[in-house]
Structure 1
Amino acid sequence: MIVTATPTWRPFHDEPMFTDDLLHGVDDIPEASRAAVITYLEQVAHVRRAPLHTTTAFNALHFGFDPQTRGYQAAVLDPELFVRLDTGTVALPVLPVGTFVRIERGQQSLWAEVVARFGAHDETHSDGWVPAHLSGAPATLDAMGCRPERVILDPEAFGAPLTARERVELRRLRQRGVLLDDRGHLTGKVCYPNPKVADLDDTALYAHHLLTAGKPLLVGGPLGGLLIDPHDDDTLAMALQTALDTIDKLLDQTPHLRRWGAYATPAERYERRRDRPGLLGGADLDDVAHAATRATLEPRFTGVWPLLAGWVDSAKVTDPEQVDVDPLELTAAAEAVAHVNLAIADVATSAVDGLLVDGVHLRIDDRWQAAGVWLAQPEPVQTDVRGVDPLRPLALGYHESLPSSSFASDTPPDRDLSDRQPDDGTAGRPDGADTDAAADGKGRDTGEDTPTGGDQVRQETRPDDADPDAADIDLPDGSADDAVEDAIVVEHLHDSLVVYTVALRPAHLDGDALPLPDHVDDLLADGTLVIELHHDGDNLDDDERIQQVERSDGELSGFAWPLSFYPGIKVTVAVARGARRLSAATTLLTKPLLYGAAFRWAADVKILAAALGIDLPDVGPQTPEQTVPRAANPNVPARHQGIGPLRKLIVTALRRHGAAGSFGARRLTGPQLFTALFGPDLSNPALMWQVIYTCDRLVDAGKLTCEPNQGRPDKPGSGGPDTFVWWPNDAARRQAQGHTDQQRRVALRGKVHEHWVPPGTRALPGGYQASDEARSAYAEFVRKVRGPKADTRLPTGYTFVRGHTRGSEPGSSWLRLT
C-alpha cells in the first residue's frame, strides 16, 4: 500500500472518527464508516515506526493521531495527565501498551507513548534459551510486588522527527543509563498492586489504566462525550471494552497489515525487510527462525528477544563496521520483534500434520515472556498438541514443570502428620478485597485441553489388613503381589486431606465395599458417612450417585456399586478431615480398554484380565509411574499451586452441581465447589483455598474459565469470589463469547448518544479566533470532566465545538480576526 498524500482523516480538522459506530459490532458498522476507519488505521501504521497495537490504534482514533504531522497534539491531550517518570525513579509504575508518559529531568521533559512491552526475566540466555518453567507462567512478583520488564517507548509519538532539543535530551538519557538503557528502552522492575493486575494482557491492562489513573483523559475525549452519563463507571467500562474489541476486529480486517497477537505491522514493510541484506535482513530472519526450530533431543524453549539481542550484540563485536545503527534501538526493536515472530510463525504454519520436514513440532508457547517463547520438540508429539493451532499459546513449559501436588512429600504413609501445620489460607482471595495473592494465573487464555504432563505424584501403600481376598483372584504368572500393591495408590497426603485411587477387585464389588488406606481412619467423621459417586460418562440414578456408608475394618461398607462397574475399575476418592461427605469419581477413557467396548473407564488391567480369565495383551513397554515429586515451580508459591489430584473431582463436581448456563456451561464459585466436594458442615478455610487454587491451575491449563464477579471496574477482584465455568466443548465457549458481546452491546442501548458528534476541540482556520461562547463552553466542559481545579483556558490555535447530532449546525465557535 502507498500512503496517499492526503490523509483520509485529520484529527481536530475533520469531525471525530470515534463515533457511536465503534460501540456496535463490526458487522453493524456502516460500510462507509468501516472503510474509513480501516484506511485511516493503515495510514497510521505506515507512518509510525512501531507496530500498531490494539491499544495504540484506539489512541489514534480517540486522541487524534495526525498522519500528516506524524503525532498527537500534546496541547490538546494535556501532558499533566500523562504518567510521570523522574530520573530518580527506582521501580517503574505499571505501563501497559498505549500509556502516555512524560520523562522529567530537571527543567527538561520528554513525552512518549508506550508501543510494546514484554517480560525480561534474567534466567534467559543470550542464545535464546528460556527455562521451561518461565514459558506461559502466570505473573510472579517479588517481595515488593515487582517483576522485570522491557518497555519500548515512541518518543516521536508527538511529532516526527524530534526537535534538536528533544534529540539531545534523549541522547543524554540513554548515555547516562538513567531510566532508559543504551537502546532507549525502559528496563527494570515494574511494580504491580497485586498479581491479578499483573496477569492482565496489555489490552485489559490499558483499559484498567484508563478507568483509573487515566480516567480524565478518557472522559475528556470522544468516548466520554458519546455517553449520556460519562461518570457512570459501569457504563464507561462497558463502552471502553466494546470499543477496544471492535477496533481489534477492524485491525483483523485491514488488508495491508499483518497481525502478530495484538500487534499489526504493514505487510509491505515486512516484505521489504525480507528482501533487505545486512543485519536483521531476510537472511538473518531465516537464520533466527532456524535457530528457534532446530531439532534437539529434548523440547527446547527459545525466547525471541534474548535471541535477537544476542545476535545483534555478537555482530557489533565481530563486525562493528557493518553495524552503524543498532537495529534494536528505540521503536525499531518493536518492529524487529514482530517481524521475527512472523517469520517463525510462517515456518510453524507450513507444517504438515503438525510436523516440519525434519519431524519437529513448532509452536508458540508464550507471547509475553522474552517477546515470545517458541517451543520446538521432536517426535513423538502428543496428538492433542499437534492438532491445536501452532499460533495459539498453550504454556506447555509452565504446566509440564508444575509439581504434581503442592503438598507431595517423601513422608511415609504411616507417619503421624499431626505436627504439620496447614496453610492458613489468609493470603488467598478474600471476598471484596485485593490482596497480594489474588488469583495467580488469570486473564490469559492458554488454550484448550492443554496437556499438563504427569500431574500426579503417587505414593504407593499396602494397608496391613488390606487385600484379605487376594487369593480369590486367579492371576496369571503369579502376579498377585503386583495387583495387591497397585490396588490402593495414595496420590495426595496431608493432615487435612487424603486423595487416593483404588482399583476395585471382585471381592469389593461383590461385598459392596470400598477399601481405605490404613492412615485415613483418623480423618473420617464418626457415624454414618455420605459418598457422592461421579461415574464419568454415565448419568447415575440418585440412589447410585449418593449413598450412605459405614466404616468397618479398613473399608467403607454398604455400597450399591453400579452395574457398569467391573473388576479393575479405578475410583479416585477425596477424604477431608472431619467431613461427612466424601467425593469419588471414575475416569472415562478416550479409547476403550483392549478387552472390548464395554470397558470404557480407567482400570487396573491385571485385575481385569484375571477376572476375565485371559492373559494380559502385549501392549509394549510401559512408562513407570513417577514416584518422586518434581522440584517446586519457583514461579508459583507452593500454597497457590493447588492439589493436582483434586482436578478431576473438581471438574466432575462442576458438571454435576454447577448452575446451568447458556451453551451447556456449568458455574460455581470456589466456596460452592468446596461445599459440593466435602459437604456444607465442614469448615476448613485452608482446604477451601486449596480448592480455589486448584481451580486457578485448571484455568491456566484451559480446562475451565474464570469469571470475576462484578465489582468496581477500577478495582479487579472487588466483587466477591470468582466463578469457575466448565464448558462442554470449544464451540460452546466461542458461542458464549459472541453472546456476551451481543449482551454488552444491548446493555449500552439508552446510555449512548446515537448519531452524535461528541464535544471537543477543533483546530482554528487561519485568521480566526475562538468565540467567547466557545471559550465558556470549553471551561464548563473541562471542569465537568477534570474537576474544578483544571486549567480551563483553550489551547492556542483551537476552539471548542459542543456535542451535536450529525448533520446539524453546532453553532458558531470561531470569529474572524480583525
Structure 2
Amino acid sequence: MGGDPYVSAKGVGERERTRVPDPYGDQALLTSAMTGGYDAVPGQERSRLRSYLEAVVAARPAPVHTTVAFNAVYFGYELGGDGYGGSPLCLDDFPVITFGECAPVLPVGAMVCVATGSDPLYAEIVYREGAHPEVDALGDVPAWVSGAPAGAEGSGRPGTDAEPRRRELLVPDLHAFGPALSLSPAQLHRLRTRGRWINEDGHVVVDVCYPSLQAARRDDLTAYADHLLTTAREQLLSPFVPVSLASLVGGTQDGDLRAGLLGLLDTVRGVLNSSAMLRTWGHYALTRTSLADCWRDTGPLGGHDLRSLVAAVERAATPARRRHGLVAPVTVYTAVGPRLRGFPGAEERLREVGYAAAVCRANVALADVLQGDSDQGLFGNGSRVTLDDAFEGGGVWRSHHPGDAEAPGDPLVPAGRGWNSTLPAPPEPVDAPLADDDALGTGELLRSDAQEIVWRAPLRLAHLIGGWFPLHPFVAQDLCRPRGAHPTLRLELNHAGETLDEKEAVQYVAAELGDDSGRLAGIVWPGDFFPGLMLELRRLRGDTVIRLATTRLKERAQAGDRETGHCYDPRVLTREDVPGSSRHGDSAVGLGPRQLVMRTVRRCGLLTLDGHALMDRSVLPSAVYGRRPARSQAADLDSAVAELLAERLLEPALGSRDAWGQPHFPPRDGQRTILLIGYRPARPRVIRPWGGGEPGGEGLRGAQFVAGHLRRLRPGRLPSDVQRAAFREHCRRLGKADGWELPYGYTFVTEHTRGR
C-alpha cells in the first residue's frame, strides 16, 4: 500500500478499476456518528464504509461476520495481501490461548495467539458453530439437541451447572495476518497431524466453558463486545489502531466504551445489510458473485449438490405412500454442516475457512428456496421446512409433515421447536390491562364559550386500532339536542407541517352519542399518527364540522424508538407505543425476550410525568407471564435485561417496598431496598472532543467532529515533532505509560471539527 491513502482492491471485478478507502487513509472510516448506530450515520459516511467493507468481503476467502468486518475497519485490514500484518498492531496485546480440557469463550472475531509449544499461531476466529456429539455424521439431529441451551444434559433436562459447557467448532483464519506471520505449509501439516491444537481440517473443536448461563445466551455482537472490553481490552485501546474507540466516544469510561462499541457494531451490520453487492446469512456476508459462481460450479458442493441438499431437506419428512390408514406426523431435523460432509469429493473443500463458506452458501440456498417456492415454509408436498437452530451444526433445519397442521410463521426465525417439544408447555406472555389506564390521556378543556368548544387530548392505542376518538362531554351534549344519537360530521385534519392524503384530510364520520358521552367513529388515522400524539379539536357551536390538528415542536424529539416533530404525551407514549403494539393489534405473543422486557417495564412500571417507567426487577418474570415462568424463560429474560442495561436502553435504580408490598421511588426511609430497572425515553447522544463543551452546545451545531486518528504517510515522508507529541498525548489519554512513539510510516491527525 505504501503511503497512498487509497488502495486498489484486487480480484474484485469492477473494483479493480476503482479506489477503495483505507482505514489508515486521510479520512478515518469510523466516525463519532457511527457510535450511535447505523440509523445515526450520514449517507456519505455510510457510503465510504460500505465501499471498504465490500472490498474486504470480496478479498477474504471466508464469509465475513459482522465482528470480522468490524475488525477489518477498526484494526486496519490491508487488502493487498498482508491482512492485519500490514498494520502496526502490537501482537503482544493479543490474548494467548492454551486449549485444554475446557476452553474459554472465543466469539467470532476474536484475534488470538494459540500457544502450540513451539511457533506461536496467530489467528482470527471467523466462524463458530455447535458441535454436539449426538449429531451423527450425516447430519441427523435428535429433536432435543435442536435449540437446546448450553449445558443441556438430555431430553427435557436443561442441566444444573452454573458454568455450562458446550462443544463448539471454531474456524480460525490462519492467514489473516499475512505471509510474515503465517506458519509454513509444513508447519501447519504437522499441527494438523498431531491434532492437539487444530484438527486435520484446520478447525478447533473444544468444550467451551461459559462463566454463566447468561453469558451462554448472549448474541454474537454482545459477546464480542464483552470480549473486547475484558479479555482483549489492551488490543481494543491500542494507540496503533486507525482511530481509537476512546477518541470516538470522548473518554475511557466503561459505560461509554460499551455503548459506543455496540453502536459501531450496529453500524457495520447495517452497512453490510444495505450493500447491493452482498448477501447475508445471519451475521455472515458473502458476495453475490461468489454465490453465483457456486451455483454454476459442477464440482463438489457446487450447484448440483446444493440442489440435492435442498431437495433432501424438503422431502425429509414426506412419508412413503400407504394404501390404507392415516399417516402419523413425521419430524426430521437436519444439520447442514455434517450433511455437507456426506457429498462425494467434499472433504478438501471443507478444510480451513472453506467449511464456513460452504455452510453459509448452503443455508442461503435453503433460505432462497423457502422464500421463492413455499408459503412460509409450506411446500406443495405438504411438508413445512423451517430453520430451527441457527447455531448447532451450522444450522438445523426442521422438516415436518403434515405442515399445514402447524401455525405459520417466519420460517427463517429459529424457533427451537426441537428442544421445546421435550419440555412441559411453557406459559404464554399475558396482556393484563394497564393499571392506570383511566388516568392516562384524560385531556383538558381549553375553551368553552358561546362561540366554540376547544379541547385537547392524546391519541390512544385503542383509538388507532378502532378508528375512533372521544368527544368532550360538552360537545356530546350539544350534538344530542338537535340531531339525535348518530349524526354525521365533517372531520377536517391538519397535521402541522405535513401533507395529508385527501381521504385523510377531510372525512365524514359518525358521532356515536350516549347520555353524557360520545365519540367520533369511522376515522381513518394518518399513517404516522402514533399513541400519545397530542390532538387539539375545535367545534363552533351548532356547526357540523370538527377541526382536528397536531402541534409542531420547536425541534424534533427522540422518545424511545419514536422520533417526532409534534407534541406528544410522554406517559401515553411510554405505556402504549411498545413492542407488540400497533394500529393492527396489541399482543405480547410472539415477542422475543428483549421485546418482552421492554414491553413489560413500560406497561407495568411506576410511571413518572415525563414518561420514565421503573419496575421491581424481581417481579419482572411473573409480570411477563402472569405466573412463575419456566426456568429457561426466566433465564432468557435475565439475559435480555443484562443486554438492555449494557446498551443503556434500560437503567438500574434503587427503590423500596412498603409493608403492603407497594414499590416506591426514590427509596423511602425505613423500607426494604429493592433493585429497579428503569425505562427512560432515549435522548440523542452528543459526541464531542475530550474536554469539549456541554452536549448540545451551539458551538458544535453544523460541524462534524473528527476524532484523532493514525494516517499512513507517503513514502519518504516523516511526521513532524508536533504530531509526535500529539500522539504521545493521545497515548496518555488512553491510559498508556510514557514511552509510546508513532510507528514508522505513520503520522497522527489531531481531533478537529469540519463544516458539513
**1:23 aligned residue:** 35
Q: 2: distance between equivalents of 1:223 and 1:656?
A: 36
Unaligned runs of 5+ in 1: 316-321, 407-448, 451-533, 543-646, 678-687, 722-739, 809-818
3-state DSSP of counterpart to 1:370? coil
Q: 1: distance between equivalents of 2:745 and 2:631?
A: 57
1:196 and 2:214 aligned = yes
**1:672 aligned residue:** 619
Residue 745 of structure 2: which of 789, 793, 797 is its match?
Answer: 797
- The structure where strand makes up a greater share of residues is 2
Q: CA-to-partner distance for each residue in 1:540-569, whole Å, 9 max, x for gaps?
A: 999xxxxxxxxxxxxxxxxxxxxxxxxxxx
The answer on whether the counterparts of 2:727 and 2:742 sit within 8 Å (CA) in structure 1 is yes
**Shift of residue 670 of structure 1?**
5.5
Q: 2: distance between equivalents of 1:164 and 1:235?
A: 36
Q: Match for 2:386: what amino acid?
A: R
Q: 2: distance between equivalents of 1:656 and 1:199?
A: 24
- 1:216-227 equivalent positions in 2, closer than 5 A: 216-220=234-238, 221=241, 222-227=243-248
The answer on whether the counterparts of 1:156 and 1:162 sit within 8 Å (CA) in structure 2 is no
CA shift in 2, pair 1:5/1:673, >3 Å:
closer
Residue 307 of structure 1: which of 335, 339, 343 is its match?
Answer: 339
CA shift in 2, pair 1:381/1:210, >3 Å:
same
Residue 111 of structure 1: which of 119, 122, 126 is its match?
Answer: 122
**1:376 aligned residue:** 399
- 1:288-367 equivalent positions in 2, closer than 5 A: 288-296=309-317, 297-309=329-341, 311-312=342-343, 315=344, 326-349=348-371, 350-352=373-375, 354-367=377-390
Residue 97 of structure 1: which of 108, 114, 124 is its match?
Answer: 108
- 1:252-291 equivalent positions in 2, closer than 5 A: 252-291=273-312
3-state DSSP of counterpart to 1:49? coil
**2:723 aligned residue:** 774
- 1:642-721 equivalent positions in 2, closer than 5 A: 658-659=604-605, 669=616, 671-672=618-619, 694=630, 696-697=632-633, 706-708=640-642
Q: Match for 1:184: what amino acid?
A: G
**Shift of residue 699 of structure 1?**
7.8
Q: Match for 2:194: what amino acid?
A: R
Q: 2: distance between equivalents of 1:34 and 1:541?
A: 43
Q: Which shows bigger deviation, 74-83 or 799-808?
A: 799-808
**Shift of residue 291 of structure 1?**
2.3
Q: 2: distance between equivalents of 1:64 and 1:127?
A: 40
Q: 2: distance between equivalents of 1:742 and 1:5?
A: 47
CA shift in 2, pair 1:206/1:356, >3 Å:
same
**1:516 aligned residue:** none
Q: Match for 1:366: what amino acid?
A: D
Taking only aligned residues, the RMSD between alpha carbons, in angstroms, comes to: 4.3
1:10 and 2:22 aligned = yes
Q: 2: distance between equivalents of 1:179 and 1:658?
A: 51
Give the aligned length. Answer: 530
- 1:210-249 equivalent positions in 2, closer than 5 A: 210-220=228-238, 221=241, 222-227=243-248, 229-249=250-270
Q: 2: distance between equivalents of 1:35 and 1:94?
A: 34
The two structures have a TM-score, normalised by structure 2, of: 0.62
**2:413 aligned residue:** 392
CA shift in 2, pair 1:291/1:326, >3 Å:
same
- 1:75-224 equivalent positions in 2, closer than 5 A: 76-86=88-98, 89-140=100-151, 145-159=164-178, 165-220=183-238, 221=241, 222-224=243-245
Q: 2: distance between equivalents of 1:166 and 1:373?
A: 36
Q: Match for 1:794: what amino acid?
A: L
**Shift of residue 364 of structure 1?**
0.5
Q: Match for 2:340: what amino acid?
A: L
The answer on whether the counterparts of 1:7 and 1:67 sit within 8 Å (CA) in structure 2 is no
**Shift of residue 242 of structure 1?**
1.5
3-state DSSP of counterpart to 1:157? coil
CA shift in 2, pair 1:157/1:655, >3 Å:
closer
Unaligned runs of 5+ in 2: 1-12, 153-158, 318-328, 439-592, 656-678, 689-693
- 1:254-653 equivalent positions in 2, closer than 5 A: 254-296=275-317, 297-309=329-341, 311-312=342-343, 315=344, 326-349=348-371, 350-352=373-375, 354-384=377-407, 386=408, 388-404=409-425
The answer on whether the counterparts of 1:146 and 1:189 sit within 8 Å (CA) in structure 2 is yes
The answer on whether the counterparts of 1:75 and 1:795 sit within 8 Å (CA) in structure 2 is no
**Shift of residue 116 of structure 1?**
0.9
The percent identity for this pair of structures is 31
The answer on whether the counterparts of 1:55 and 1:203 sit within 8 Å (CA) in structure 2 is yes
**Shift of residue 378 of structure 1?**
0.8
The answer on whether the counterparts of 1:226 and 1:757 sit within 8 Å (CA) in structure 2 is no
Q: Flag as ranges the 4+ runs of structure 1 deviating above 4 A.
A: 141-144, 161-165, 534-542, 653-657, 664-670, 673-677, 690-693, 709-714, 716-721, 747-754
Q: Which shows bigger deviation, 54-63 or 1-10?
A: 1-10
**Shift of residue 73 of structure 1?**
3.9
3-state DSSP of counterpart to 2:207? strand
Q: 2: distance between equivalents of 1:190 and 1:373?
A: 20
Q: 2: distance between equivalents of 1:541 and 1:768?
A: 69
Residue 708 of structure 2: which of 759, 766, 780 is its match?
Answer: 759
The answer on whether the counterparts of 2:105 and 2:209 sit within 8 Å (CA) in structure 1 is yes
Q: Match for 1:111: what amino acid?
A: Y
Q: Match for 1:237: what amino acid?
A: R
3-state DSSP of counterpart to 2:133? coil
